[in-house]
Amino acid sequence: MAKKLSNNIVIRNKKASFQYEFIEQFEAGIQLKGTEIKSIREGKASIKEGYCGFKKGELYVFNIDITPYSEASFYNHDPKRPRKLLLHKSEIDKLIKKKKDVGLTIVPIKLYINDRGLAKLSIALAKGKKLHDKRESLKEKDAKRQIGRALKH
């Protein structure tokens, strides 16, 4: 009996928006093996500790955890293997140039399945926030929560 796999999966990296200030965002395809896409459709993936880096002029995402598919036999994948990101050459060149700036990094923001059933990874060129910036983010979040509560009552 086959499981119902969903196409409206969105796996977010909430920690990234707290730790980084996003400068520019990109949408990249991700090169996966057969059992990896099935695990993502079940929602069994984590991008919290993920980061992107260049290897031989190509962009890869490292440390993303995609749980092995439960129904697979010995064809299962390595959960933390580096995965190639699929971007246009011009976008890769732009990222390489901007990554040379000190203090900039490329972080995954969300992993999702698009309308055509393909796995996509939203990535952002980001700059690390200082402690006072993080405090400001917490104050804004708290203020929004209080406004929401006030409007509810």
- Taking the whole predicted model, whether its pTM rises above 0.85 is answered as no
**Measured between alpha carbons, how far is 153 from 133 in angstroms, rounded to an integer?**
31
Q: Where are the domains of the chain?
A: 10-152
User: Is the distance from CB of 21 to CB of 73 less than 8 angstroms?
Assistant: no
What fold characterizes domain 10-152? Small Protein B; Chain: A; (2.40.280)
Determine contact, residues 141/147, Cβ cutoff 8 Å: no
Tokens, residue 20: 């980084």
- Token representation of residue 33: 């093996």
Smallest CA-to-CA distance from 125 within 56, 61, 52 is with: 52
Query: Whole-angstrom Cα distance, residue 89 to residue 8?
Result: 29
Calpha distance 37→119 (Å, rounded)? 7
Q: Are 28 and 123 in contact (CB under 8 A)?
A: yes
**What pLDDT does residue 6 have?**
53
**pLDDT tens per residue, the chain (153 residues)?**
445 555 677 888 888 888 888 899 999 999 988 888 888 888 888 899 888 999 988 999 999 988 888 777 777 777 888 999 999 999 998 888 888 877 788 999 999 998 888 899 999 998 887 777 778 888 888 898 999 999 887
Whose CA is closest to 59, among 26, 23, 33? 26
For 32, the token pair is 């996966």
